Amino acid sequence: MNDGLLPLFPLELVLLPHATIPLHIFEERYKEMIGECLRLETEFGVVLAKKDGILRTGCTAAVASVLERYEDGRLDILVRGQRRFHIESLNTGRPFLRGEVEFFIDTDETPADSELARRALAAYLEYAQAAGAETEPPALGDHDLSFRLAEISTDLDFRQFLLDLTSESERLLRTAEYLERAAARKRVETAMKRTARGNGHGRHLGPLSS
């Protein structure tokens, strides 16, 4: 894997920078890929897989720890998101997909506004409460705060949208707006479930907003 090509792992998830996720490695091609990454201490790229193919923007993953090794070669690993990239071309010369990629970073010239950061963090806390999620909020001054806040969302389209943005300020704004709307939807859903349990119809609550 010293030819400059990044091994790619298409998955039905969006890995964000700094996020950690567990993976169960069972296919032979990915046993080979992860084995090489472990031996060479290199990254691989996680890209969102859809019915019509994979998306162009992804995030590299480094193996943070091997949780379990099985006798048949399967692995349980914990990976951490690292660098974002755009796929320039694909290579099918190995059992697993590889790509020529271009890494990219934010283009912000000034730090994000502190008021915007506080709004996004407040929206995160509001959503966590509405969803009943037990989670430790990130610190206000965390690097790439938007990505850390967005980890609470399971919306793949939203996570992928953020991954493409090259402005922390814009990501914080979009995250605040998204989590505020999501928290409002969660509150309505919870209220309607309570009403349904009481044999009501919930019509007085109004429609769910998008």
| Residue 203 in this model has a pLDDT that exceeds 60 | no
pLDDT of residue 180: 97
Average pLDDT over residues 45-65: 97
- The partner residues of 70 in beta bridges, in order of sequence, read none
Residue tagged 């691989």 (tokens): 44
The per-residue pLDDT for range 115-148, each reduced to its tens digit, is 999 999 999 999 999 998 888 999 998 989 999 9
pLDDT of residue 199: 58
| Residue 193 in this model has a pLDDT that exceeds 80 | no
Q: What are the start and end residues of each CATH 2.30.130.40 domain in the chain?
A: 6-104
The per-residue pLDDT for range 1-29, each reduced to its tens digit, is 457 999 999 999 999 999 999 999 999 99
Question: Which of 94, 81, 101 shows the shortest CA–CA distance to 32?
Answer: 94
Task: Kindly list the distances between the CA atom of residue 109 and the CA atoms of 154, 165, 167, in Å, as whole numbers in the listed order.
Answer: 30, 14, 9
Average pLDDT over residues 171-186: 96
pLDDT of residue 122: 97
Q: For the ranges 34-43, 142-151, 167-176, 182-191, which has the lowest average pLDDT?
A: 182-191
- Domain 6-104 adopts which CATH fold? 2.30.130
CB 137 within 8 A of CB 123: no
Complete DSSP assignment for 88-123: EEEE-SSSS-EEEEEEE----SSPPPHHHHHHHHHH
Q: What is the CA radius of gyration of the chain?
A: 20
Percentage with pLDDT > 70 across the chain = 92
pLDDT of residue 161: 98
CA atoms within 13 A on the CB side of 199: 0
CB 46 within 8 A of CB 63: no
